[in-house]
Structures are given as structure tokens and as C-alpha cells.
Structure 1
Amino acid sequence: MAARKGRVGLFALLVLGHHGGLAARRAIKDMLASAEGDAADRVQEAVQRVAELVPEILADHGAAVPGWARSADDPYAAELLLRMAFSALVDADFLDTESHFKGVRRPSGPSLSSMVQVFEGAREDYLRSPGVSPIDAVRTEIYEQAVAAADQPIGVFPFPAPTGAGKTIASGGFAVHHAARHGLRRVIFAVPFLSITEQNARVYGRLFGPKNVLEHHSGVDLHDLPVDRRWQRLAAENWDAPVVVTTTVRLFESLFSRRPSAMRRLHRLAGAVVVLDEVQSLPDAMLPPILSALRHLTERFGTSVVLASATQPEFFSLEVFKGLRPRPLLAEPKPYYRRLRRVRYEWRCDPKPTLQAIALEVAGQEQALTIVNTTKDAGTVHRHLEEAAHGDVPVMHLSTRMAGGHRRAVLMDVRQRLERGLPVLVVSTQLVEAGVDLDFPMVFRAFAPAEALQQAAGRANRNGRLEHGRVVVFDPADGSVTGTRLVYGAALDSTRAFFGPDRADPDDVDALSAYYQARYAVKDLERAGPGAEIQRYRADFDFPEVAARFKLIDEQTVAVLVPYGDSGEREHLRSLLISPAGADPWVFRKLQPYLATLPRRLAARAVGDGLATPLLGDLIEWDGEYHQVRGLELADPSGEDFVW
């Protein structure tokens, strides 16, 4: 019936796909053809029987569809409305079925307006904690400006502020005050990396109260919750919580999915505050659909969006944001970049040093962090550093070649050593450079795009206890050039054009703005590439093609179950994973501490060489050695290895 009602006919896709997923618009034509052929009599009989129970199906509900959704001028807004309606439909279906079979009644959480005082009181306690920083006064200024901005109308709120400026707490303060001011229903914090997600969830749990915060990502286990927090397991399915902390991958891949289980939480974005932390990490290729959806969430669904970053991208220079008025949280951010400049940059680019030469320089420090672009380079520098460092100085390593639990244990050890003033040298890939709360006196960073250089600098003198930290940017003569170029591409050329020993430093706000605009122009994001292609499929309401093409992260890696940690628990989870009955989702979450990753081609080679065994789907089990410091060690003869 819906398919025969003019413009409302597209909403037939919701009914058609509420079990299997949203189909393409052409499915309506196929459905009508079958309904008007041999099956016409049976269809008419079904319509009559349903109409006896629900007579409303015979009415023309076209007027219920907003005019902007019926217009052909902006198909992306209409496409998002279909997604929202589908989300509400399938969530209601899930909840109704759950209520019928399990008798489950979901408790309603507190309103955000009632949590303002809770947040402010917890923040005061937080500020009284030991470890006062010299820059706390500046952080307080930034917080007060962010809270003052909460009175502004619903919109898109850029939040550029230097690293260490307290964006996590200031974003939370803005969000809770803005939600209370405008009657918004929830706050959703999305963070790009799992390590920061867990870190921020701890902070927000302390500020909002742990019972009010739903932490929803692959690294948190919702199976073994205490009685008073079991609501979170139910709430995770549809984000029915006042405060949600998740990953940008889960947020946006749900937004552009077509499957009911992923999309049932989508309608929770309406009437919410969505805080995107470290927004510079969003891949350029996916910006057209992401920014388009954020704009329509704001203009059509009452959602406010915060774009937080120390290296704020120039999204408002793109066509997709044309005419959209930014509502900045800080009226004048530039003075804060000057006041919070806590490092000096040094450049080792001409002549180019070897990785061994850099390791020798690092070995002369008591506390230093070295960040490189590939796991191959991380292993090389770490081996050189082990040879060169004094025997009593621990030399640590961080990369995704290590199991998740291994990385967390190393990060905890590093933090403790830094806090106690003990010697520690760390070699890492990029996984520590954005938002991870580390404070080294000196950071070495392999040449990378400007935002990566500045984010790395945010790990040096983070709390302002030194007159200045040192950041050494080096362009290694023997680094993995192919792998670095493969991922960073044109961003490297744009960085060389604006930053360097005779140009600007990466924390120059004007140079960063020019850099982003040049980078976007070179890539021609809105007319070429996968993001532009996704937008064409969105305009044609081809939901399967959109879902197939939208990828926020490179899927050219596979998970590897490694011999690390509690062998008893690992073997128990492994047996559940491969049981004939199939594994529950909580098993996969519990496995996270035991999983490392490998590039797909290296994983295939490891299986072929007898170093690994296929376990389930893409998951493989490592049969070779696991290095107690560096994790998986498997040489890549192509030199293209690039894994966080």
C-alpha cells in the first residue's frame, strides 16, 4: 500500500526491509510488478484483512512526509529521513518482540537537565585531584567559554583548541549545558581510537556518574555487569542512555549501514548532542557523506554537533558545508595556541638521518617517545634502541602487532613511570599520538601530515611543567617510504609546502587552515573518489551500495589470536568461539585483549608458511612465536607494511 502512495512510496522500503535490511529503490518496482501480476488477488486479500484491523493503511499519508523530503532538490535529506524512520521502526519491532517473549521493561534514565549539577560538582572534585598543572587556569578559561557557548542555537560547533587544553572536559560541559538549555535527550561522544575511547569513558563516568554512561565499543564487555548496571547491556543495542561513549567507526558505520541490528540506534542521534573528538582523524575520502549527514542531522533532526580537534580541519571550506553557519565554542582560539605553546620544533630533514641515527639520539634521553609511520619502522627503531640504551632504562614498544591487553598494560606502565619521574623510552606507531594522555619531555616524530606532527607534539610537555618540551621531526632515509605514501598520499606533499625548518611550525593556525584547503583541492573530494560515489548512490536511494562502499577504516587487516595473557581464559574463549552452536557476541568482546592485527597479505603468508591457522571467518590463530615486547614479528618484503 505504501508503495502506491506517491512520494510516500519510498517508505515502502522500510516495511520491505525491516527484517532483512534496507534495499535499493528499484526493489519497489520489482515488488509492485509481482503484486500486480499473478499474485494480485492474494495481495488484495491481504490488504483487506489488514485494513479490517488497521484501517489507517487505506488513507493517503503523503501529507505526513515533510515538504523538504518530498522535494527532489535535496535527496540526501530525504535519504537520511528514510534511515531515521527505518531505525525507529526496527527498534520498536525489537523492543516489542523482547517485551512479548522476555517481559523485559527498560528503565528510563535521568534527564540531562537533572545532570548539570552532578557534572559541575564532579568537575570541582576532579580539579581538586592531586597533580595540579601550571596550565589549569587556561583550561578553566576554555571550559567557561565552552559552557557560555551552550546558549547558542542548535548547530555545528567547531572546537579548535591546542592539545592539553582540556577539550574532553570542556566538550562534556558544553554538551550537558547545551542539552539542558534546549531539551536535548542525550549526549553521544565518539572517539576515533579504542585507547582514547576507554580513557574518555573513565573521565565521563567520573563526571556524569558511572551508572549514567554507556560505554559501547568492541573493547568493553557488557556481559558480566553488576546488577545495578545490567541496563547497559540492553541500552547498548539502541543507545537508550543519557550519555554514550563510542567509537567513530561504530557511529558512522551504523549511520550508513542497511542492517536492522546496526541501524536501530540511529534515531537516537535526533535531538542529541554529538561530540566528535579528534575529528581530524576522519578520512578525507569519506568526508562528503559524513559531512552531508552531519549537516542534515543539524538542520532537520535537531542535533547539535561538536567538532573537536587541536588541528581543526577546514570543513567549512567544502561545498557540502556551504551556507552552514559555524557556531564556535571559542570565539578567538588563536591566543590559546600562543599561550599553550609548550614545545619547540627541531627538524632533521636535510640531510635525512637513518633510523639507527635517530635511535642513538633517543638513547641519550631519560624519557622520550618516538613515533614512526609503520610497524616495520617501529620494530627497526626498537631493536636499534635496545642495543644503544643504557641497561637500566626500559625500552618499550607499542603497535597493533601487540595484543590489545598487551598494549594496555604497556601504556599503564609508561604512565606510571612518567608520573614517578622514572626513565622510560617508548617506540610507537601513530596509535598514541591523538588524545592519549602521555606527558614526555621529548618526542621524536617521523615526517607525516601536519596534523599528525602537531598531535604527536601534544605528547610533549603536555601539562606545561617544563619551560618547553622538544619535538624532533625527522625524515628517515631508510624509512618505509612506500607504506607511508600509500596511506598519507597527497597530505605529505601539502605538508612539505607549508611546514618545515624554513616555513611554519605545525601549530600555526593560519598555516594549518591553508594546508587543509590545499589538500582538499588537490584531492577534489566532492567530485571524485569513493565519497563522491557514495553520495551518488545515496541520491538514488541505493542503500546496499552505500553500505558496501562506506568504510571508515582500512579493512586490509585481519585479527590474530595470539599466545598472550591468561592462557586458561583464552583457551576457554577459543573453545566457545568455534563451538558448533556458535558464539555469542560477548565472546568476541572478551577476546579483544588477546587479539593483534596483521595486514591481510601477511596473514595469508603466515598461514601458508605454517605460522598461523584459520580459526573462524577472517580470524586466524598464531602458531609461531610472540615476542614479549614487540608482539608479532613477520617481515614484509614489499616494504608496504602500515598498521597502527
Structure 2
Amino acid sequence: MSGELWAHSVNGFGDRHCLVDHLRGTASLARTYGSVFRAGRLAEGLALLHDVGKGACAWQEGLARAEAGGGRVFDPSGASIDHKIAGVLLAARKARLGPYALAVLGHHGGLPERRALKDALARADGADQARVQEAIRVVAELVPEILDDRSSAVPQWGKSSEHVHVAELLLRMVFSALVDADFLDTETHFMGYLRPEAPRLSSLAEVFRSAREEYLSGREVAPVDEIREDVYRQVIGAAAQPLGIFPFPAPTGAGKTIAAGGFAVEHAARHGLRRVIVAVPYMSITEQNAQVYRRLFGDDHVLEHHSGIDMGSLPPSRRWQRLAAENWDAPVVVTTTVRLFESLFSRKPAAMRKVHRLAGSVIVLDEVQSLPDTMLLPILSALRDLTEHFGSSVLLASATQPEFFALEVFAGLDPRPVVAEPKPLFRRLARVRYEWRCDPKPTLAQVATEMASESSVLAIVNTTGDAAALHREMEAVTDGPVLHLSTRMAGGHRREVLRKVRARLDKGLPVAAVSTQLIEAGVDLDFPVVFRAYAVAEAMQQAAGRCNRNGRLKQGRVVIFDPADASAAGARRVYGAALDTTRACFGPGLALPDDLDALSAYYRARYALKNLEESGPGADIQRDRAAFDFPAVALKFKLIDEFTVPVLVPYGDGTEREQLRALLLRPTGAEPWVFRRIQPYLAALPKRLADKALQEGMAAPLLGDLVEWHGAYDACRGIEFTDPVGEDFVW
């Protein structure tokens, strides 16, 4: 009879996929994945039940029709046949798995809210009863263990009534294990072979050590190298500590990228962890870090996964990444903070396949100060649970280390610092002096005149409008080229400008640049003088990290200016109350931005003022998590406010751009690689300005939220569009 029950249609070898084989194959993979976080039997049980409904005659007949005519499985009337309800009934009543039955219910469409379980059980007892009972009876004859009570498979720490947020995260994890196993077992049927598992990170420790020595020997010697080596030794020593959350406070230029990789691989070797997942806030740093890690771990072991990577155009040696990107099956994953956390708090199978890979991993959060306050509560809650229940460790790297351990969500946690004495380290790496231009407030024209007297200088301001205005002022008083960076420019345009900046700095040529804050954190640039518009404390200190980065000058100069004619509304919108807290702590006659005690007091005051743990979006998300309302969590969890619109601009290779544009508009829909390939031609506008541009005929709708720019595109500044309200976009 097993030969008469099928899970999937004929593959390229002429074979159908036996349902019994699919259930047991998926269960075996899911158990392997779940065992990493001590929930192997739970994941196995859910996987064993997920497709039991396919045993019904109606579904088997629908599969035969689909195989003959193509398309999906439908009944003769054209209605879809739900194959999930039988498994949901078994999971909830026979296996007694409670809310974990939601993993079966959502394994195609996504995790639903908890009350959907009640609705599904009502259908199983009502309209779908005959088909559900038939499927259970038929499949149980072949796989009798589908009737087992598996309530003991739920770890005590995963009982929802006792540890609600841990249980919610466990459900996410077993759901991830289930859908990844389901994808892979199905893929094995159609491809004819199972993908091999990637090697563990711990096996690469010696590779990293040797590659690091070679990498450092090929670099130009810098005065701060001795300090970087001291930081590295401290970090490696800390890798022997037990699993936990490791703050890594170190000044900019202290070698955090390499040190973090060293910590991860040594910590993994000590504790048998499987991978390192490095998440950074900005695309430019993601690409920069991935390049470093490919040299240290080898091309074959580093997956770089973000929207700027076109998996279809990778060289043959890196084509494996196309598959690995689906579920992060690689020893080293370099991604964006947005992709990491929006996957973790998603509800869709495609996004969540990778989530179970967080278990048993070293998670490195670079530039952790960039995490938005509004989302801190669910993020920190999940990080704590990952370290306490899912066998992970977390490294929090930043020159401006936030005071997360002052928040109640981290109460009772024992921080494991990787730098024993941060204050002496910051003093040793103090390479700049701060100057203030706040009273009286200078105009942008005055700032430009002062900047023009410097041979090489970088200015960072708070909004795109300020960047464009200061750039024009600089052009008026400077003979040489003035470079510009903001998201009003296409992605490829920004990369080209960054290359020019680096090339001129490396050759010792004069260079002047004006940028929004997209350049201030983590980007490896070394200017002798940096001007920074007054901003929150961490932004000012991060900007200082682009000044005298390698310590080749006795002191660099960081000039903090509070411009009289800049967009106060734009700065207020991005920084909010944190800007007021900064003004109370930092400035002329007050503390400098690199004063660690003042920075600590600033963070504590900022968190108290915002009352993060009692109100706001983060607290709402935690309440939704406690209610197992996965759609609400996915809707509310946003690391980046959705007030920007992607804009296709006339930049770069016009032939390729037009070809990609045509592919986007195909009646059959565009393939995913087209959206990735078109990224270098996209800029961004606030939605309000995009709507105004559409109304005035300066832009036209193209596809979904994507619009096409018909106005002028400046060779230096990109889109130039006047904002009559006086507010502006931040980046």
C-alpha cells in the first residue's frame, strides 16, 4: 500500500515521492536540527505529522490530476484541498503538543495566531472530518507512530504557561526546523540527492589562525597595531568562558572585525558550536566584513547574504552560496541586522528556514549601538533566550557600547566582557581632539569655508538635505573635487564614490567628502580631519572613528558643529528624545563623546526617559509574542521605518538597466534575481516626497512600491528634489 500513497509528483528520473518516505525523511532531518537545542523529539514529531493529510483519497486523486495537467492540487470543482488539518489534529490531541501544533498548521502559509488552532480543530471535527479521519487511518497503518503521545518531547523550559517568551521562541525554532527539513527532503526527491551539511566552524580554527598571520603580514604597519594585538589576545582569552552574552567595548580602529572572528572560531572550538553569524547594520560594512572573513576563513566557508548580492552572478567558486542562502547552512554567515532579526520575527517559511541555524552558533552583532530603541525589548529577550536555552553565544561589538545590562530584560544576567579594562584601552587609543562650534552656531557656508582650508576632510551631517546643501557650499569655495554620499544616490553610485575616497586616501591625495551618517559606523576610512553635525553621543563618537583611524598622526581633529541653517526637524525625527539627553551630557563644558562614564549615564537616562520595557512598539511586540500572535509580531517588528520608497534612477549602464527594467515588467512576473541585480540602480526617497514627485510628474509608478525617476539626477548628489515642508530624509 505504501507504493500507492504519494507526497509529490514525478521527478526528472520518473519517480514519485512516497508519502511514508517523505514523512520519515523530513522527521529525521528535523530531529537532527532540533537536537541542537534539545528539542529533537519535538521537531521530529511535528515533521512526522505535517503531511499526514495527504493520505486522503481526495488529495491523492488531486495529485494525479495535477501531475497530468500541471499546477497545484485541487478537487474536481477547482477548490484547494487542505492537507494540514489532519496533522494539526494529531499534534494537538494525540501528541498533546498544545500550541506547537501551530507549526504544522503554518508549514505552508506561515505561522498563524493562536486562535487559528481552535478554528482548525473545529474544521477537523466538522466539515473536514471524514477526509481527516480517512487520512489518519490510512497513514497510521503505515506509520503507526503518528498516534504517539509526545507531550514529554516538550522541554520543561518550553512549557508556555511557565516561560511564555521562551516557548514562543521554541515554537519559532521547531517551525524553522520543520520547514527547512520539509524543503530539503522535497528537494532531495526532485534533485536526486541530499545536500551535504556544511562543516562546523570549530574545524576552521587553525585555518583562521594561519590566515590571520598571513593577512596581517601583508598589511602596512600602523602605529596602533600593538594595541590591536593586545585587544586580540584579550578577546581570544575570553573565548574560553562558558556560553553567554559577551559585551565587546573597544574604540574604533581597535581591530574588532578580526578579533570578533577570532573569538567566534576559538569559542566554537571550545564548545562545539556550529557556525558564526555576523550581523551588521549597513550594507557597506557587510561587504567590507565579508571580504575580510573570506580571507580569514576561505571563500568556500563564508556566505555573504544581503539584498546587494546577486546570487545568480556569483563566480563558479561561490555558486554554492545560492543554496546556502536559503537556510544559512555555512560555517560563517555575514548578513545585515535587518535580515537577521526580521527573519527571526517573521512568520513565513521561506524567511524562517534559516532561524534554527541560530541555535548552537556564535552570533556577532557588530555596531550594536545601531539597534533601534523601539525594538530593543524583543531583540534582547530573544538574545537572552538563545544563550540560556538554545546553546548560542552572543558577542555585542561596539565602540559606543549601550547599557543593555541596565535593562530589566537582562536582569540577573552575568555579562562576560571580552576586554577586561575598557577605560585604559580607550585612553591608549585616543587619537583625536574634539573642537566645538556650537555657540554661536555656524552656518553651513561658514562650515564649508573652514573645511576648505583642509587638504583632506570629511563632513557628516544628519539629513540628505543638509548633505546636499553643504556639498553645494563646498563646491563654491573649493577648487578640487568634492565627493558626496547619501541614499539619494543609487547603490552603485555610492560604492563608486567610496572607492574613489579610499583610493585618494591610500595615495595621500587631497579629498573632501560630505556624507550622511551612512558612512560613520564601521566603514574603514582614515581622514585627518572630520566635521560632524551635532547628533546623539554614539553618532559623534562613531564619526570620530573615521579620523586618524590608524594613528599615523599625533592627533586628528574632530569638529562638532551645530549648524544654524540645518534641518532641525530631520535630526529630531531620527534621534528623538535621545538628542535632548545628549545635549544634557555632552558638549562645550560637558563631557566628550568618548567619555565612557558619561556614555553609560547617557544610555541609562535615555532608556529611562523612553520607558522602553513598559510602553512603545517593543512592549507591544512582547505582548503579542506572549499571546502567540505571529502575524501581529511580523507586522510590528521593523528595524527600519517603512517611510522610504525605492527609486530607479538614470545612473550607470543604461543598457543593463533597461534590460532589467523590462524583466521587472514581464507579464509572468520577475524572478528574484532581477530584484537583486537592479539594486545598484536604486536610490531612495521618503514616501511623502515620492508621492509628491509622482503628483508632479517627476516620477512614475513602475512595479509595486518601486517608482522610476524622470527628473534630474545630479552626477554628484543623485536625486535633487526640494522638500517644501522643510523636513528631510535622514540617510
Name the TM-score class by shorter chain: over 0.9
Matches of 1:5 and 1:71, distance apart in 2: 19
Compute the displacement of 1:116 (Å).
1.1
Matches of 1:38 and 1:81, distance apart in 2: 32
Matching residue of 1:178: 267
- The equivalent position to 1:563 in structure 2, one of 645, 650, 653, is 650
Counterpart check, 1:397 vs 2:489: no
Counterpart check, 1:302 vs 2:379: no
Distance 1:542 1:356, change over 3 A: same
Matches of 2:654 and 2:300, distance apart in 1: 32
Matching residue of 2:506: 419
Matching residue of 1:61: 150
- The equivalent position to 1:600 in structure 2, one of 687, 702, 710, is 687
Compute the displacement of 1:5 (Å).
5.1
Matching residue of 1:195: 284
Compute the displacement of 1:305 (Å).
0.4
- The equivalent position to 1:46 in structure 2, one of 135, 151, 165, is 135
Whether the 8 Å CA contact 2:234–2:418 is kept in 1: the answer is: yes
- The CA deviation string for residues 17-55 of structure 1, in whole angstroms up to 9 with x for no partner, is 100000000001111222223433433222222222221
- The CA deviation string for residues 343-396 of structure 1, in whole angstroms up to 9 with x for no partner, is 00111111111111111111111100000000000010000110011x2x2111
Counterpart check, 1:293 vs 2:406: no
Counterpart check, 1:622 vs 2:709: yes
- The CA deviation string for residues 190-209 of structure 1, in whole angstroms up to 9 with x for no partner, is 00000000000000011101
Counterpart check, 1:279 vs 2:361: no
Matches of 2:729 and 2:560, distance apart in 1: 19
Whether the 8 Å CA contact 2:571–2:730 is kept in 1: the answer is: no
Matching residue of 2:73: none
- The equivalent position to 1:539 in structure 2, one of 603, 621, 626, is 626
Matches of 2:641 and 2:274, distance apart in 1: 33
Compute the displacement of 1:71 (Å).
4.8
Matching residue of 2:229: 140
Matching residue of 1:466: 553
- The CA deviation string for residues 551-588 of structure 1, in whole angstroms up to 9 with x for no partner, is 00111001111111111111111111111121111111
Matches of 1:279 and 1:406, distance apart in 2: 27
- The CA deviation string for residues 401-448 of structure 1, in whole angstroms up to 9 with x for no partner, is 001111001001001111111111100000000000010011110010
Matching residue of 2:322: 233
Matching residue of 2:84: none
Matching residue of 1:631: 718
Matching residue of 2:251: 162
Counterpart check, 1:37 vs 2:156: no
Matching residue of 1:319: 408
Q: Is 304-313 or 89-98 further displaced after alignment?
A: 89-98
Distance 1:106 1:455, change over 3 A: same
Q: Is 87-96 or 108-117 further displaced after alignment?
A: 108-117
Matching residue's letter, 1:416: A
Matches of 1:531 and 1:276, distance apart in 2: 19
Q: What SS is found at the alignment partner of 2:714? A: coil
Matches of 2:196 and 2:96, distance apart in 1: 38
Matches of 1:114 and 1:86, distance apart in 2: 28
- The equivalent position to 1:612 in structure 2, one of 696, 699, 704, is 699
Compute the displacement of 1:311 (Å).
0.1
Matching residue's letter, 1:372: V
Matches of 2:584 and 2:133, distance apart in 1: 68
Whether the 8 Å CA contact 1:156–1:306 is kept in 2: the answer is: yes
- The equivalent position to 1:587 in structure 2, one of 646, 670, 674, is 674
Compute the displacement of 1:518 (Å).
0.2
Whether the 8 Å CA contact 1:598–1:643 is kept in 2: the answer is: no
Matches of 2:128 and 2:452, distance apart in 1: 78
Counterpart check, 1:455 vs 2:542: yes
Matching residue of 1:385: 474
Q: Under a length normalisation based on structure 1, what TM-score does the superposition of the two structures give?
A: 0.98
Whether the 8 Å CA contact 1:483–1:641 is kept in 2: the answer is: yes
Matching residue's letter, 2:144: P
Whether the 8 Å CA contact 1:342–1:464 is kept in 2: the answer is: yes
- The CA deviation string for residues 471-517 of structure 1, in whole angstroms up to 9 with x for no partner, is 11111111101111011011101101111111110001111000000
Matching residue of 2:446: 357
Matches of 2:608 and 2:224, distance apart in 1: 37
Q: What SS is found at the alignment partner of 2:434? A: strand
Compute the displacement of 1:342 (Å).
0.5
Q: Is 580-589 or 369-378 further displaced after alignment?
A: 580-589
Matches of 1:225 and 1:482, distance apart in 2: 42
Q: How well do the aligned residues superpose, as a CA RMSD in angstroms? A: 1.1
Q: Is 596-605 or 71-80 further displaced after alignment?
A: 71-80
Whether the 8 Å CA contact 1:160–1:333 is kept in 2: the answer is: yes
Matching residue's letter, 2:212: R
Counterpart check, 1:3 vs 2:92: yes
Matching residue's letter, 2:496: A
Q: What SS is found at the alignment partner of 1:151? A: coil
Distance 1:320 1:609, change over 3 A: same
Matches of 1:23 and 1:464, distance apart in 2: 54
Matches of 1:234 and 1:41, distance apart in 2: 40
Matches of 2:365 and 2:410, distance apart in 1: 16
Q: Count residues in correspondence.
A: 642
Matches of 2:463 and 2:558, distance apart in 1: 19
Matches of 2:95 and 2:421, distance apart in 1: 50
Matches of 1:441 and 1:631, distance apart in 2: 27
Compute the displacement of 1:622 (Å).
0.9
- The equivalent position to 1:266 in structure 2, one of 313, 338, 355, is 355
Counterpart check, 1:107 vs 2:196: yes
Whether the 8 Å CA contact 2:399–2:542 is kept in 1: the answer is: yes
Whether the 8 Å CA contact 1:599–1:643 is kept in 2: the answer is: no
Matching residue of 1:342: 431
Whether the 8 Å CA contact 1:538–1:546 is kept in 2: the answer is: yes
Matching residue's letter, 2:668: A
Matching residue's letter, 2:678: L
Counterpart check, 1:477 vs 2:564: yes
Matches of 1:102 and 1:623, distance apart in 2: 45
Whether the 8 Å CA contact 2:570–2:730 is kept in 1: the answer is: no
**Aligned ranges for residues 371-382 of structure 1 at < 5 Å?**
371-382=460-471
Whether the 8 Å CA contact 2:160–2:168 is kept in 1: the answer is: no
Compute the displacement of 1:227 (Å).
3.0
- The equivalent position to 2:517 in structure 1, one of 430, 437, 443, is 430
Matching residue's letter, 2:717: R
Counterpart check, 1:78 vs 2:167: yes
- The equivalent position to 1:214 in structure 2, one of 287, 297, 303, is 303
Whether the 8 Å CA contact 2:644–2:684 is kept in 1: the answer is: yes
Matches of 1:475 and 1:614, distance apart in 2: 38
- The equivalent position to 1:15 in structure 2, one of 99, 104, 128, is 104
Whether the 8 Å CA contact 2:94–2:147 is kept in 1: the answer is: no
Whether the 8 Å CA contact 2:649–2:681 is kept in 1: the answer is: yes
Compute the displacement of 1:6 (Å).
8.1
**Aligned ranges for residues 510-529 of structure 1 at < 5 Å?**
510-529=597-616
Whether the 8 Å CA contact 1:5–1:62 is kept in 2: the answer is: no
Instruction: Answer 1 or 2: higher relative contact order, Cα 8 Å, separation at least 6.
Output: 1
Matches of 1:118 and 1:206, distance apart in 2: 10
Q: What SS is found at the alignment partner of 2:97? A: helix
